[in-house]
Chains A and B, each alone.
Chain A
């Protein structure tokens, strides 16, 4: 159970005569500007306090993200791709009021299934093998989220807790797979053998790491947007997110069915993200295959106000941030975890922004 957006819009005067802060439109821009200033000051403060070469670090941040074709096509967009998949997964779930914080586990399940199937169908031509592999990833992510969905609908288990637990189970599952049944034959490294070239997602630009996964993710972002805004099922998703009681009584909607659908769709998106990462970037399964994409996804989706098309932009921003932070660590020795600080401050800024928009809502 969470606070849900009110259906009446923002121009409400509460019975006690207090106008919500939404009546002051300037406040939002003040918050946005303040968040920006706080983030910039925090980054500069940390850089200066740490005694780093600040101009050099900032130059590395920019160059690492956008400074060269390599930065853009082999770093920023490559990192933005999984963030887009999981950002969509979190976005659609939150839109329906499903607090899926298990995108990480669903991504891992998707990656594991994709590699397992990929190892088996490596001899097939790409046109047959790739759909099988990606399908397996989506299915596995869906199944993993489906456990949490089933637990919620059948037993009333809070999805916050179940999806969090399943993240850990998925991580241990991957750890076991790459040390057990799927380990490479020499049994030295905790990883699988490399996937056959027929199950690699093709590169979009010769000589760069950017792969077909990005186009797939963009296609899914547009499809998700279309689904939410132009289909009856999408309307039901938004209606359930706006309030289960109203959706049931006024809309004649079966909230359980819609919630189940959202769990499965959200898991499928995250699972596809894992499959895309495994077949487009790593070409193998190992424990650290996701540096917490599933957790960053929450920030990605929130910054985009859960709007599928805007999630493309915020995934790009976060991809650039992480690529730039990695370059900053390489060139100026600045720890790349600084990116997490920025991500967290963005989320907190968005929450503050929402406070001024309408009290008690988070979407």
Chain B
């Protein structure tokens, strides 16, 4: 049995889309110096929000509520980390736990204890006229749900925004040296708060894509660690917009490889391919000496002289 390379690439891009959306959110958050482990929570909140919104007002409302739900999760995170000045790692795990618990409980409470298989309208792939006929990559890149195209726009503009605008500079300054940013008249608290909200919105959107463009229903804990994968993608992508795109594709392709091997009947343990990107992330981290590419203040709280 042979496999269709075009189909494999198309599936890889489809799988990579929510991962990349969340990862671009996390990229902005980490560039501001915060590691947001609450991203997984924003994602599951977005997935649940998409179900509620789409049930009430169609796909558009679904995405809107997904984004809002992701923002809500991020707002809790921002409140705890920036206002209560708590450790971001602990706050992030708490936010994720809270979102997983709340969505699971509400889902069963609202949609019945049995969790009857609900389906919501999904968006189907839109082929871009001429481009989708390109050989090999045409269908992979240009016959995708519309959110993938939104992703292209974000991916394309984020790098420029980070490097070429004052707001991007303020973000990077906050992530490198909050004290210096503060001295330059930037409010690191506000920058980090806005970054967290953007990250939450993107995480929520990613959850929405999962429900409205892929699965068509909600299941408890359906984010299944994708928020954490997005964090790995940012690291593997070396905190750059371009790197994140490549890393997201790699994770997407790795999770599609298992189906390829199954259809080929190869007795290769598919877990190997699922674990590989994580190992690769660790190797990349170790191989690049002393966090050269990471924001210098990543994972450090704001000190008194920076707020």
Contacts and interface: CB of A to CB of B under 8 A. Distances in A.
Interface in A1-35: 1-3, 14
Contact of A1 (B220, B279, B300): B300
A254 interface: no
A172 B271 contact: yes
A266 B235 CA distance: 25
B165 interface: no
Interface in A168-200: 168-169, 172-173, 175-176, 179-180
A343 B282 CA distance: 30
A281 B181 CA distance: 54
B225 A302 contact: no
A5 B271 CA distance: 41
A352 B285 contact: no
A158 B94 CA distance: 20
B21 interface: no
Interface centre among A158, A173, A339 (most CB of B within 10 A): A158
Interface string B78-114: 0010001111011101110110111011111110010
Interface string A343-363: 111011001101100011010
Interface stretch (B5-13, B183-191, B203-211, B286-294): B286-294
A340 B101 contact: yes
Contacts of B220: 337
A172 B229 CA distance: 14
Interface in A234-289: none
A49 interface: yes
Contacts of B300: 1-3
B291 A156 contact: yes
Contact of A298 (B90, B110, B279, B287): B90
B281 interface: yes
B85 A50 contact: no
Contact of A335 (B113, B289, B298): B113
A348 B41 CA distance: 14
Given A165-B232, A165-B278, A176 B269 contact: yes
A46 interface: yes
Interface residues of A, number: 56
A299 B101 CA distance: 14
Contact of A352 (B37, B84, B108, B287): B84
A161 interface: yes
B222 interface: no
A99 interface: yes
B301 A335 contact: no
A205 interface: no
A79 B98 CA distance: 20
A166 B228 CA distance: 12
B136 interface: no
Contacts of B247: none
Interface string A138-161: 000000000100010011111011
A118 B271 CA distance: 24
A360 B278 contact: no
Contacts of A52: 109
Nearest to A333: B113
A162 interface: yes
Contacts of B216: none
A359 B231 CA distance: 28
A173 B275 contact: yes
B275 A168 contact: yes
A154 B286 contact: yes
Contact of A155 (B80, B105, B286): B286
A338 interface: yes
A172 B270 CA distance: 9
A96 interface: no
Given A155-B286, A340-B98, A347-B97, A335 B105 contact: yes
Contact of B301 (A151, A168, A341, A360): A360
Contact of B87 (A348, A352, A362): A362
B35 interface: yes
Contacts of B291: 156-158
B169 interface: no
B104 A335 contact: yes
A295 interface: yes
A355 B86 contact: yes
Given A160-B299, A351-B90, A344 B231 contact: no
B85, B97, B300, B303 pick with most chain A CB within 10 angstroms: B97
Contacts of A155: 285-287, 289-290
B304 interface: yes
Contact of B89 (A99, A180, A345, A360): A99
Contacts of B107: 335
B274 interface: yes
14 contacts: A1-B300, A2-B299, A46-B105, A46-B109, A50-B105, A101-B89, A169-B275, A295-B93, A299-B97, A302-B90, A335-B108, A337-B105, A341-B102, A347-B90
The 9 residue pairs across chains A and B that have the minimum distance between CB atoms: A50-B109, A340-B101, A344-B98, A337-B104, A341-B101, A351-B86, A362-B87, A172-B275, A347-B94
Interface of B: 35, 37, 76, 80, 84-87, 89-91, 93-95, 97-98, 100-102, 104-110, 113, 220, 225, 228-229, 231-232, 235, 269, 271-272, 274-275, 278-279, 281-282, 285-287, 289-291, 294, 298-301, 303-304
